[in-house]
């Protein structure tokens, strides 16, 4: 018979920290974050500096490999990613199998997972060359698949990567170019997107990144781990918040623009409604990314000459919440998602693609964290629990 008492003694001390609010799961050299001071740095470089002076692929390289690439290294990285942008044609039959109403994040998770079956060697990353190859493959194929989720829902023919164009420009082409209408590059769009991707690129041990590390810790391959990260990101308390923010702003707009009413709902503890795009697990002062995005949103709309009533609602809501005792006392400030949706909307990206946009931006962070976890030879993730169920009983 099992001696429960003995077993209990053997388990030793277990700390309980639901949501891991105060528990570190690893050491990391990738991203520094100070939630009190509102500081975010990738590999020591301030987010404001990177958003202003770097492009997305440079930042991706920096995150994944630890150092800012020289011009030659960056060119090679970009070329190597290009080599892997072809997605196996048989993957199209998987895409065909999804209903037209399927959410793009569900398709993206499944298609990313399927990449493992079509590229079985990518699981093997024991040496530097194989690791580099897996990184470039993921950066290339994920972007293409992400845009296919949109084209499927639109009923458009699938597009292929154009090796004469840059990564972010390709994203817009892959999304929007149709045979009868060549895509015209809009510099403002590309610059805004580049910035948005940089701001989303990493955020230390958030829910999706921790998921990627956890799944990868069993030595599951990069595609399988990233697929799990996509699923985690999809939730409305995480990446899904950007879609939820816009839906909330549209709802307020459609109901007469009464921001005060929604503010009151958010404060009512009997009402499950939360002000989407407000609050953050770590930033208890302000989210430095929100500041940059707010400025970018204003610039994009001014350049395009767009007057968006949704932006007016967002401004009104933000101003009211910042003055409100409930929000002030709980340190609830606009987070990165509060303004990103407004830019996406101005770029013509449909609401249900917003979280996919986040995933494209977060991809280098996921890869960097997965790579670090493997290179540090971290043990398999396996938390403990405090059992609170029934004691032994007879069946």
Tokens of residue 310, six digits: 């949704």
Among 335, 344, 366, 367, binds ligand ACO (CB under 6 A): 335
Secondary structure E strands in 191-283? none
Binding mask 83-122 for ligand ACO (x = CB under 6 A): ----------------------------------------
Beta-carbon contacts of 54 under 8 Å, excluding residues fewer than 6 positions away, are: 45, 62, 68, 198
Choose the binding region for ligand ACO from 50-58, 160-168, 279-287, 303-311 (rule: CB under 6 A).
279-287
- What is the C-alpha separation between 265 and 279, in angstroms, rounded? 16
Report in angstroms how near the CB of residue 279 gets to ligand ACO at its nearest: 2
274 binds ligand ACO (CB under 6 A): yes
212 binds ligand ACO (CB under 6 A): no
Whether 280 is a known active-site residue: answer: yes
280 binds ligand ACO (CB under 6 A): yes
Which element (helix H / strand E) includes 73? helix 71-83
DSSP 351: G
Which of 141, 133, 149, 353 is CA-nearest to residue 226? 141
- What is the C-alpha separation between 211 and 175, in angstroms, rounded? 28
Among 14, 185, 237, 302, binds ligand ACO (CB under 6 A): 237
Report in angstroms how near the CB of residue 258 gets to ligand ACO at its nearest: 17
Binding-site size for ligand ACO (CB under 6 A) equals: 18
Among 336, 346, 356, 368, binds ligand ACO (CB under 6 A): 336
231 binds ligand ACO (CB under 6 A): no
Which of 163, 158, 182 is CA-nearest to residue 78? 163
232 binds ligand ACO (CB under 6 A): no
328 binds ligand ACO (CB under 6 A): no
Handedness of CA 129, 131, 137, 140 (dihedral sign): negative
330 binds ligand ACO (CB under 6 A): yes
Choose the binding region for ligand ACO from 129-137, 235-243, 304-312, 366-374 (rule: CB under 6 A).
235-243
The DSSP string of 35-63 is: TTTTEEEETTEEHHHHHHH--HHHHHHHH
Whether 312 is a known active-site residue: answer: no
Among 241, 300, 310, 343, binds ligand ACO (CB under 6 A): 241
353 binds ligand ACO (CB under 6 A): no
- The single residue of 194, 280, 287, 324 carrying the catalytic annotation is 280
Paired residues of 278 in beta bridges: 334
Task: State the Cα torsion 226-62-72-183 to the nearest 10°.
Answer: 60
Q: Is 267 exposed, middle or buried (0-12, 13-18, 19+ CB in 10 A)?
A: middle
- What is the C-alpha separation between 32 and 142, in angstroms, rounded? 26
288 binds ligand ACO (CB under 6 A): no
Give the residue with the Cβ less far from ligand ACO, 304 or 322.
Answer: 322
359 binds ligand ACO (CB under 6 A): no
Choose the binding region for ligand ACO from 175-183, 250-258, 273-281, 300-308 (rule: CB under 6 A).
273-281
Binding mask 362-391 for ligand ACO (x = CB under 6 A): ------------------------------
Q: Within its chain, how far is the Cα of 367 from the centroid?
A: 12
- What is the C-alpha separation between 332 and 329, in angstroms, rounded? 8
Q: Residues for the chain: how many in total?
A: 395
Among 337, 346, 349, 364, binds ligand ACO (CB under 6 A): 337
Adjacency order of strands within the sheet including 45-46? 31-34, 39-42, 45-46
Interface residue list for ligand ACO (CB under 6 A): 237-239, 241, 266, 274-281, 330, 332, 335-337
Catalytic residue list: 280, 337
């Amino acid at each position: 018979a099992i001696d429960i008492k003995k077993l209990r003694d053997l388990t030793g001390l277990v700390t309980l920290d639901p949501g891991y609010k105060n528990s570190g799961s690893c050491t990391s050299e990738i991203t520094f974050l100070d939630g009190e001071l509102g500081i975010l740095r990738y590999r020591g470089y301030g987010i404001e500096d990177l958003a202003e002076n770097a492009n997305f692929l440079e930042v991706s390289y920096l995150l994944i490999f630890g150092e800012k690439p020289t011009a030659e290294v960056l060119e090679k990285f970009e070329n190597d990613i290009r080599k892997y942008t072809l997605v196996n044609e048989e993957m199209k039959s998987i895409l065909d199998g999804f209903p037209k109403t399927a959410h793009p994040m569900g398709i993206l998770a499944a298609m990313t997972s399927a990449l493992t079956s079509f590229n079985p060697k990518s699981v093997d990353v024991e040496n530097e060359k194989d690791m580099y190859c897996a990184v470039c493959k993921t950066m290339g194929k994920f972007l293409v698949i992400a845009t296919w989720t949109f084209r499927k829902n639109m009923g458009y023919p699938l597009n292929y990567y154009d090796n004469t164009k840059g990564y972010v420009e390709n994203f817009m082409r892959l999304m929007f170019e149709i045979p009868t209408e060549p895509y015209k590059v809009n510099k403002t769009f590309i610059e805004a997107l580049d910035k948005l991707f940089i701001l989303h690129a990493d955020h230390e041990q958030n829910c999706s990144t921790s998921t990627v590390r956890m799944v990868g810790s069993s030595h599951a391959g990069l595609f399988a781990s990233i697929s799990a990260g996509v699923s985690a990101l999809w939730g409305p308390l995480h990446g899904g918040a950007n879609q939820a923010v816009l839906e909330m702003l549209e709802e307020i707009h459609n109901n007469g623009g009464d921001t005060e009413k929604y503010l009151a709902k958010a404060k009512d503890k009997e009402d499950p409604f939360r002000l989407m795009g407000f609050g953050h697990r770590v930033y208890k002062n302000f989210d430095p990314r929100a500041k940059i995005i707010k400025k970018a949103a204003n610039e994009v709309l001014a350049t395009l000459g767009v007057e968006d009533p949704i932006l007016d609602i967002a401004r009104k809501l933000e101003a009211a919440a910042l003055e409100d005792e409930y929000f002030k006392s709980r340190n609830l400030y606009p987070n990165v998602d509060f303004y990103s949706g407004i830019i996406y909307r101005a770029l013509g990206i449909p609401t249900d693609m917003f979280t996919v946009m986040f995933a494209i931006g977060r991809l280098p962070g996921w890869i960097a964290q997965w790579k670090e976890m493997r290179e540090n030879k971290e043990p398999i993730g396996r938390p403990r629990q405090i059992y609170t169920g029934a004691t032994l009983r007879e069946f």
